[in-house]
Amino acid sequence: MWRATHRRGLSLLALFALVLVACAGEGATGPTEAGPTDDGLAGLGEAAEGEAPDESSGEDAQLTVAGGGAGSGVYLAAGTVAEWTRTRSGLDHVRMTAQTTGGLIENVRLVEGHETDMGFGASSQMFQASRGEGPFEEEEPYENLRALFPAWEASTQVVTFDPEIETIADLEGKRVNLGPPGSSSAASAEVALRAAGVWDQVEKEVQDWSEGVRLMQDNLVDAFFVAGPPPFPAVQEAVAVQDRDARFVPMDDVIPDILQEHPEQIEATVAADAYGGGVPSEDYPSVGYLAFLVAHADVPEDVVYDLMESILTDEGREYMEAGYDGFATGFANFPGFEALEQAGVKLHPGAVRYWQDQGEEVPEAVIP
């Protein structure tokens, strides 16, 4: 959670935290030369509680942003935002570290409970969380999620080395890595496998994305699911495996049922050759969601406004895309109000002010 710290100097604890930040990183696909290093991923867990930062008294906002695990795009996204905020934003009153997590479902829970200040969440999961459905069916409807901006457009991708797996139904009796618990990949895998009628007939692994590739390379799983914008780091790893031909498992047979049963999902397409080497061999029809950077309702309005004003400059966007190229698909969906209305999620007050200052007409439905 955020905390206030005075600018007159860093405590020994804060210095120690910065050292940990500089040492962090879990081996996800690295950034380009113009982008950030993995230093943005501290994995430090929950920040200490405190009083709201007060600009007039010279106090700083110490924020955490929830990302994902190694081999995921959201891992890179959180590290990129945190590093930009710390090193490039010019916001001396805002400091940020990124947390490694199980993925987007866990992030939504962490933000709602204010165990982290910000995180990346999927519109599809926020739709369910706001209604107490799906993985949130045993919880009260969420009320504290506040969106900032669309971060990326995601698609479900199913990858195998086995040429005999030609449909999702062919995964019956196979061992499949769904992705880590709490991730949008695991949730998307369940949706697709249930639509194919083979959910109970699949041997399930719930390893992180990079481990799923290693297991498939060692013939310990037959396929894996990811959910995110291409190029997804774990799929890149699979395509790069020598003497093995990675291929996409078609989803055509389950897409109509998914869209009928899950109105929170959107149609998506992975372009042919998105990963190079003819992978996928042709445009790959899929389903997906729009991911947003979200904050807890109690994060101060001025802090959110200042962050957006910094991140969404031309320089900031270029930096974001260099660190994680999936950001380009989110920026193409600005401002994302329609997806928020469908998900039942409000904008953060700081985001409302930012978008209004950009000349956008903000719908009443997304104003808190």
Q: Do 216 and 334 fall into the same domain?
A: no
Quote the tokens at residue 357.
């200052």
- 3-state class (DSSP) for residue 270: strand
The per-residue pLDDT for range 72-130, each reduced to its tens digit, is 889 999 999 999 999 999 999 999 999 999 899 999 999 999 999 999 999 999 999 99
Q: Do 146 and 180 fall into the same domain?
A: no
Specify the number of domains making up the chain.
2
Q: Do 203 and 265 fall into the same domain?
A: yes
Q: Do 315 and 194 fall into the same domain?
A: no
Q: Do 115 and 137 fall into the same domain?
A: yes
Q: Do 179 and 58 fall into the same domain?
A: no
**DSSP symbol at 141:** P
Q: Do 198 and 98 fall into the same domain?
A: no
β-sheet bridge partners, residue 292: 121, 150
Q: Do 19 and 146 fall into the same domain?
A: yes
Give residue 257's domain range.
Answer: 155-289
Number of H helices, E strands in the chain: 13, 12
Chosen domain end from 289, 315, 346: 289
Q: Do 13 and 125 fall into the same domain?
A: yes
The per-residue pLDDT for range 7-62, each reduced to its tens digit, is 333 333 333 333 333 333 333 333 333 344 333 444 333 333 333 444 333 468 99
Question: Is the model's pTM score more than 0.85?
Answer: no
The per-residue pLDDT for range 316-347, each reduced to its tens digit, is 999 999 999 999 999 999 999 999 998 899 99
Alpha-carbon gap, residue 73 to 88, rounded angstroms: 21
Chosen domain end from 270, 289, 308: 289
Q: Do 136 and 276 fall into the same domain?
A: no
Q: Do 146 and 170 fall into the same domain?
A: no
In this structure, are residues 352 and 362 in contact, taking their beta carbons and an 8 Å threshold? yes
User: Can you give the CATH number for the domain in which 203 is found?
Assistant: 3.40.190.10
